[in-house]
Amino acid sequence: MTQTSNDTAFLGVSQSATGRRWCGLSVETDRQSQLIAQQTGLPNAVARTLARLGVNEQDAVNYLSPSLRELMPDPSKLRDMETAAARIDLAVTKKQRIAIFADYDVDGATSAALLFNWFAALGHVATIYVPDRIDEGYGPNDAAMLELAANHDLIICVDCGTLSHGPIAAVSGTDVIVLDHHLGGETLPDAVAVVNPNRQDETGDLGYLCAAGVVFLTLVAINRIRRGAGAHCPDLMSLLDLAALGTVADVAPLIGFNRALVRQGLKIMAKRERVGLAKLGDIAGLKSAPTSYHLGFMLGPRINAGGRIGKADLGARLLTTTDPHEAEAIADRLHQLNDERREIEAEVQLKAMAQAEERGLDAPLVWAAGEGWHPGVVGIVASRLKESTNRPSVVIGLDGDEGKGSGRSVSGIDLGAAIATCAREGVLIKGGGHKMAAGLSVAREQLDVAMARLSQLLEKQGAGNIGPRDLHLDGVIAPSAITPELIEQLETCGPFGAGAPAPRFALPSVSIAFAKRAGQNHLRLTLADENGGRIDAIAFGAYDSELGALLDDHRGRKFHCAGRLEIDDWGGRRRAKLRLDDAALIT
């Protein structure tokens, strides 16, 4: 069965159990998938996934085996790259004292670890400094930069610094380099080099890179200089796990170079040679070869927990230590902090959603602000609001005369640019970021004015006209056709994540042979069709919506079910399973 138009709801589902409209492939994409299947012999499910990702029949086979060498851009395409690479190489050659000033999130931690481990391979020990989220806030500050400058010859700011004109200008006698990806302003700080694909004078071709990707390209450029001089070059392939983790955790689009970076990085991570990541994976319950899902939803949140509610440098320390005992201790602490973060997040989310509902959830901007809301969770809560409402969302924690917040956007709406405009206009104390995520500081007395102006800017981009969130599906599939072998072939279309969503398929007209609540909010199921095909499924968070109650009370009725296909390795037996995302009762 084929759905070839987005004008009609897929399988007739205009409102599912989770309130979504189901959408299939367009007529053009469906035709492209047929061409791919005919010319390559690939299964229809794989061909449809490739077509939806924009791959044509000529490139399909090569797409399934991305080459890092072929997809890697020339680092010198980025402005200031040659200057930055030469200065860092000089610092190493002359054994100068180097400090790395890193952001407190996963992208900052992996960027710092990339540099630190590269330096260590040359016998050079660098200093890592990570600011405290609450006491110091995001990015370089005068006090920290002056302290580092007093004891170092070079400071490298990673995943921050592009907008830090004052703190960088305060430094004298010590060179500063910025390796960043956040949206740049009209002017750049007075640094030796600012390497950032999102500078205003860049083409934007590499704007999809996160900071870890920028740092990796910088190391490629330095190795090129050292190779030309006949000097030792550290192995960059062994660092790909760090670049992959930063890319996925920062929700960078998995396209172009990022895709090859993550694909190869996952292979390196599977070797378990980085003791910190191995220990963290064990504590998190990672029992199979890592995927982009594990990086984004298991490892990333735990590393982030240190910067959110704990000691800011825990993530960077985990990724740089070579001591198994220290690695286990840090991993355990991050795991505990992540549990604490979840509790804090749940409390703030309830209050933020209630407040947002009072204002109305169909405005161009959904926002909430609360007294003492922890700065470490406002970004996550903003993401939850965005997912629930399909609107750009901002959540702010108020403390004294000021509020600090984070925002998350939806596809097609540039939240970072809108927040940067508000900062330039003075309705925000400061703010910036990128299209999908941004941070801000606002005076308490200006809160309503600032949110009104931000909403106005977002409305001009069309944020007020976005309809209910759609669930995009790649086609239909019968339970009997879902095998581990097919799922492995689908995985070769990945890695999946931002910019390249994992394939989702509908299982039409299935009955529920088994259903049992698991934990507080999850539901385990067995789905069966009329031809005897069966597949086990799990719906995480099913009872957070109408989905859980509907399926639990199935009474033998038929449903269309939709979700992602996975392999279950539990007990050493490989079986196909469905991660069920949605369902609709057939009436």
The string of DSSP codes covering 457-493 is: HHHHTTGGG--SPEEE---B--GGG--HHHHHHHHTT
- pTM score: 0.89
Distances (CA, A) of 72 to 3, 68, 154, 294: 37, 6, 28, 24
pLDDT band at 467 (very low <50, low <70, confident <90, very high): confident
* 176 and 246 within one domain: yes
CATH number of the domain residue 509 falls in: 2.40.50.460
Are 416 and 527 contained in the same domain?
A: no
- Yes or no: say if 472 and 51 are a contact pair by the CB < 8 Å rule: no
Mean pLDDT of 535-540: 96
> Which has more pLDDT, 246 or 251?
246
pLDDT at 7: 60
- E strands along 402-546, which residues? 402-408, 430-433, 437-443, 470-472, 505-518, 522-528, 534-539
Sign of the C-alpha dihedral computed for residues 140, 142, 143 and 148 taken in this order: positive
Is 347 a member of any domain? no
Average pLDDT over residues 90-111: 97
List of residues 6+ apart from 22 with CB closer than 8 A:
9, 10, 11, 13, 14, 16, 470, 471, 473, 506, 560, 562, 582, 584
Q: Tell me what the mean pLDDT of segment 406-411 comes to.
A: 94
Q: Are residues 414 and 493 in the same domain?
A: no
Residue 352, domain member (yes or no) = no
pLDDT at 459 over 80: yes
- Of the residues 433, 465, 497, the one at which a domain ends: 465
For the chain, how many residues are written? 587
Residues 287 and 213 in one domain: yes
Q: Determine, yes or no, domain membership for 351.
A: no
Task: Supply the CATH number for residue 284's domain.
Answer: 3.90.1640.30
pLDDT digits 0-9 by tens, 301-350: 999 999 999 899 999 999 999 999 999 999 999 999 999 999 999 999 99
Q: At residue 469, what is the residue type?
A: R
Looking at the fold, whether 295 and 217 belong to one and the same domain comes out as: yes
- 17-28 pLDDT, tens digit per residue, is 998 999 999 999
User: CATH number of the domain that 386 lies in?
Assistant: 3.10.310.30
Contact 276, 318 (CB under 8 A): yes
Q: With 90 as the cut, is the pLDDT of residue 499 above it?
A: no
Q: Categorize the per-residue pLDDT at 1 as very low, low, confident or very high, splitting at 50, 70 and 90.
A: very low
CA 201 vs CA 50, 58, 80, 192, 430: distances in Å: 34, 35, 11, 17, 22
Domain of 16?
10-63+473-585
41 and 132 belong to one structural domain: no
Instruction: Please write the tens of the pLDDT for every residue from 55-70.
Output: 999 999 999 999 999 9
* Interval 431-435 mean pLDDT: 88
Whether 562 maps to a domain, the answer reads yes
Percentage of residues of the chain with pLDDT beyond 70:
99
**Helical residues (DSSP H) of 237-377, grouped into ranges:** 240-249, 256-270, 275-284, 292-294, 300-309, 314-320, 324-359
Average pLDDT (381-405) is 95
- Average pLDDT for 356-374: 95
How many C-alpha atoms does 53 have within 13 Å on its Cβ side? 32
* Number of domains, the chain: 3
CA 314/CA 28 separation, integer angstroms: 49
Q: Phi and psi (nearest 5°) for 334?
A: -65, -35
pLDDT at position 288: 85
578 and 430 within one domain: no
Asked if residue 520 and residue 489 are part of one domain, the reply reads: yes
- Quote the pLDDT of residue 32: 97
Spell out the alpha helix ranges (H) of 41-154.
44-52, 60-63, 68-71, 81-93, 106-121, 142-149
Of 5-19, 128-142, 178-192, least confident by mean pLDDT is: 5-19
Q: Please give the Cα distance from 198 to 78 (Å, whole number).
A: 10
Q: Show Cβ contacts of residue 542 under 8 Å, excluding neighbours closer than 6 positions.
A: 521, 522, 523, 548, 551, 580
The verdict on 169 and 247 lying in the same domain is: yes
Note the pLDDT tens digit of each residue in 106-163: 999 999 999 999 999 999 999 999 999 889 988 999 999 999 999 999 999 999 999 9
